[in-house]
A and B are shown apart, each in its own frame.
Chain A
Amino acid sequence: MSLTEQQIERYSRQIILKEVGGPGQEKLLASKVLIVGAGGLGSPAALYLAAAGVGTLGIIDYDNVDLTNLQRQVIHNTSDVGREKVASAAEKIKAINPDVTVQTYRERAAAANIREIIKKHDFVLDGTDNFPSKFLINDVCYFEKVPFSHAGILRFDGQMITVLPGQTACYRCVFDKPPPAGLVPSCSQAGVLGPLAGVIGCLQATEVLKYLLGVGELLTDRLLIFDGLGLQFREVKVTRNPDCRLCGQEPSITELADEEQAACDLKASQ
C-alpha cells in the first residue's frame, strides 16, 4: 500500500516524526484495533486512533447513548441520546477520517462471542467498566496471544497496564479474580471526573500506536497509577506471577468462561 497525496498531507505532522515516517503510517493504515466499550475510555481513544489513521477500528458495545454518558463519553453528542453507541461512534469516526473502516459489534462481550472478534485484531483496547469483562478480555487475549491495554478509572483516579500475553504480566498476575459482587463501586455509584477518561483513554491510544509502530517502551510489567487530585503519576513494578491462574506455571484456567457476577452487581456495572 502506498500513501496518496492527500494522506501524506493529512498525516504530515506524524509522518514527520522519524519514529513514524511513511512506512509507519502505512503500517497504521494496515492495522486492526478493537475497542471494547464505546464509553469514557473508548471515546477519546477511538477519536485519536481514527485521526491517526488506524485503518480498521472494531467497536463492541451493546448499549445506547444515555444522557448521563455525555459528561465524559465525548464521542457521543446530545442528539445521539437513545441511539446505539456503536452507530454513534462509527459516524464520528467516519466524519473525522474516511480512511478508517469501522466494524461495529452491537453485542455484550461474553465468552461465547468475543474470542472470534478479538482474534481478528492486532491489538485490543479495554474500555469496559466492569470486572467480568476485564477478566474476560485478559483471558481471551492470553489464549489468542493478542496484546491489549487494560485501564480503569474511578472518581479522580485511573490505572492502566499493557499486556503482551505470555511475555509480560497479565491482569490476573496482579488481580487474581473479579472482586466479590457489589464490593467495588462503579462509576455510576462513585462518580468520575470526565477528563480522567480523556487522560487515561488517550494514554491507551498512545500505547496502541506505539505497539503498532514498534517504537518506544510499552507500559508492560508496570502498573501506572494516576492520581488526578494530586496530579501525580506513580508506577508499580509488577512481574509475571508464577501463581497466576492463567499464565502461571500451573494454570487452572485452561479454557474460556464468563466470570460469575451476582445480579445486583450486574445491574450496577452493565
Chain B
Amino acid sequence: MKLIINGKDVETDEAHTVTELLKEQKVKWPDMVSVELNGTILKRETFASTGLNEGDKVEFLYFMGGGRESD
C-alpha cells in the first residue's frame, strides 16, 4: 500500500493499522510520537484500531526540546 509518510511516498508491506505502521517503519519510541492521519491528530488509544488506506497522509511528529540548557 502506498502512503505519504512525513511528506515522502512510502510503499508499506504488511501494516494495516497505525500501530503496525509504527512498528514496520521502525519508529524508535512509538510512545513518544504524535500521529496525524490526513490532517487529524489521533488519540493514542486509537492507534491499534485505526486502519490505513491507500494514499493516506501520515505524519509522525516528534517531541523536540532544545534551546536553553545547562548541565
Q: Is the CB of B68 within 8 A of A66?
A: no
Instruction: Looking at the assembled complex, report how far the CB atom of A136 sits from the nearest CB atom of chain B, in whole angstroms.
Output: 14
Please, which residues of chain A bring their CB within 8 A of the CB of B65? 128-131, 134, 152-154, 184, 186-187, 269
Instruction: Looking at the assembled complex, report how far the CB atom of B71 sits from the nearest CB atom of chain A, in whole angstroms.
Output: 5
Known: A176-B44, A243-B43. A154 touches B71 (CB 8 A): no
Instruction: Looking at the assembled complex, report how far the CB atom of A85 sits from the nearest CB atom of chain B, in whole angstroms.
Output: 8
Instruction: Looking at the assembled complex, report how far the CB atom of A215 sits from the nearest CB atom of chain B, in whole angstroms.
Output: 26
For A186-204 the 0/1 string (1 means CB < 8 A from B) is 1110001000110011000
8 A Cβ contacts from B25-71 to A? 29, 31-32, 34, 36, 39-41, 43-44, 59, 61, 63-71
Question: B32 contacts which of A37, A127, A154, A179 (Cβ < 8 Å)?
Answer: A179
Q: Is the CB of A174 within 8 A of B66?
A: no
Q: Is the CB of B63 within 8 A of A175?
A: yes
State A173–B69 Cα separation when bound (angstroms).
Answer: 25
Question: B67 contacts which of A40, A63, A157, A238 (Cβ < 8 Å)?
Answer: A40
Instruction: Looking at the assembled complex, report how far the CB atom of A161 sits from the nearest CB atom of chain B, in whole angstroms.
Output: 10
Please, which residues of chain A bring their CB within 8 A of the CB of B69? 39-40, 69, 129, 186-188, 269
Please, which residues of chain A bring their CB within 8 A of the CB of B64? 152-154, 157-159
* A223 proximal to B (CB < 8 A): yes
State the main secondary structure of chain B at its contact with A: loop
Q: Is the CB of A234 within 8 A of B70?
A: no
Please, which residues of chain A bring their CB within 8 A of the CB of B68? 36-42, 61, 63, 73, 127-129
Please, which residues of chain B bring their CB within 8 A of the CB of A130? 65
* A68 proximal to B (CB < 8 A): yes
The number of residues on chain A lying at the interface, defined by a beta carbon within 8 Å of a beta carbon of chain B, is 54
Question: A39 contacts which of B29, B59, B63, B67 (Cβ < 8 Å)?
Answer: B67
Which residue of the partner chain A has the closest CB to B6? Answer: A234
Q: Is the CB of B7 within 8 A of A158?
A: no
Q: Is the CB of A42 within 8 A of B34?
A: no
Q: Is the CB of A174 within 8 A of B34?
A: yes
State A239–B61 Cα separation when bound (angstroms).
Answer: 14
Please, which residues of chain B bring their CB within 8 A of the CB of A63? 68, 70
State A270–B63 Cα separation when bound (angstroms).
Answer: 17
Q: Is the CB of A183 within 8 A of B66?
A: no
Q: Is the CB of A129 within 8 A of B66?
A: yes
Please, which residues of chain B bring their CB within 8 A of the CB of A196? 66
State A197–B64 Cα separation when bound (angstroms).
Answer: 12
Which residue of the partner chain B has the closest CB to A72? Answer: B69
State A236–B40 Cα separation when bound (angstroms).
Answer: 11
Question: B61 contacts which of A128, A154, A201, A236 (Cβ < 8 Å)?
Answer: A236
What would 20 A/B residue contacts be, using CB atoms closer than 8 Å? A36-B68, A39-B69, A42-B68, A61-B68, A63-B68, A68-B70, A130-B65, A151-B66, A152-B65, A152-B67, A153-B65, A153-B67, A158-B64, A173-B41, A174-B34, A175-B61, A179-B31, A184-B29, A187-B67, A196-B66
